Amino acid sequence: MTDLNIWFDKGMTRYAYINSMKTHKENLLTIYNSFVLPDPMKDALQGMQKSRLRAIVITEDWCGDAMLNLPVFMRMADEALIDIRFILRDQHPELMDRYLTNKAKSIPIIILIDENGKEILKWGPRAPKLQQIVEERKKKIPSKDDPRYEKAFKHFAEKISSLFTTDHALWEEVSLDIIKKLLVKLNANSL
């Protein structure tokens, strides 16, 4: 397996990624600027600073899940001092193919690594509660061969984007799912 340090070095910084965005940039920044971590989570994340974690995020700016998950994760990374690098999925299929979700190239994928480039945790593309919401709403969309599919899917995407941009409880779900999994991994690695 290719050393993840190489992928980290290839990635864009947070600022380069945000500046390159053509889609969902305003929504991502709105969430980032509005999301406030609860104090106990800030304390837990600050306690992780000594772990010197870094993150590789496989993403694309058109992705609604990335629009929601990435600013939440960036807020968390600020507290834990996690340096993040962004890799565009469609430009790097060789990395994406290592992190498929049920054989799909679903994004975003957040790969947390230690300073040696060893993978600590893979998270994504969605927190379980968000997965339930998306699956429930997708049931209402006709099948892809139905002539109404395109219009229905566009309507679904607009509604989900609006929900993801405004529902603070969903932002909290993402942060809780990430920190819960991260704490379990870090505690397991320290034993």
How far apart CA 29 and CA 68 sit, in angstroms, is: 10
Q: What tens digit of pLDDT does each residue of 8-43 get?
A: 999 999 999 999 999 999 999 999 999 999 999 999
- The CATH number of the structural domain formed by 3-128+169-189 is 3.40.30.10
Q: What tens digit of pLDDT does each residue of 109-136 get?
A: 999 999 899 999 999 999 999 999 999 9
Whether the CB-CB separation of 64 and 160 falls below 8 Å is answered with yes
The predicted model scores a pTM of 0.93
Other beta carbons within 10 angstroms of residue 143's beta carbon come to: 8
Residue from 132, 121, 87, 85 nearest 105 by CA = 87
Q: What is the pLDDT of residue 58?
A: 98
Whether the CB-CB separation of 85 and 56 falls below 8 Å is answered with yes
The domain spans of the chain are: 3-128+169-189
